[in-house]
Amino acid sequence: MKSEKKTYKGLQEDVRKIELPKVDVWENKYNDKKYTVSFNTPEFTCICPKTGLPDFAEIRIEYSPRKYCLELKSVKEYLMEYREIGIFHEHVINRILEDFSKVCKPYWMRVKGVFNTRGGITTTVTAEFQSS
């Protein structure tokens, strides 16, 4: 019996509509101060939408919280969901930035992904949010 190859075709068209877990926040009791929160995950994975092979990356997130901070367990669960998603590197980083900045409404946020070498090319994508 021939196994069916999973296809990721068309996912890039509605990348903003892909369902992902909700990211929780908690109230920042030091919202009178401007400070930076940084965290990273060196074991991020997603799927190449062209080949179906896994892509590996280190994702670094920095932000200056206002009223809310990101809750790390829900961040971990959110990021783990990408393991089954065929998505371009640029879309991953911009989607994370949109989702995280939407829930915590920071002064600013930066999401950077350093994707492992594939075909002799290492890809780094950085996206930023600045509140008005």
Q: Give catalytic residue positions.
A: 48, 55
Helix (H) or strand (E) holding 38: strand 37-47
Query: Can you give the three-state secondary structure of 16-31, one letter per residue?
Result: HHCCCCCCCEEECCCC
- Written as one string, the DSSP assignment of 96-124 is HHHHHHHHH--SEEEEEEEEEEETTEEEE
Of the chain, the end-to-end C-alpha distance in Å amounts to 58
Distance between CA atoms of residues 105 and 98, nearest Å: 10
Which one-letter DSSP state was computed for residue 49?
T
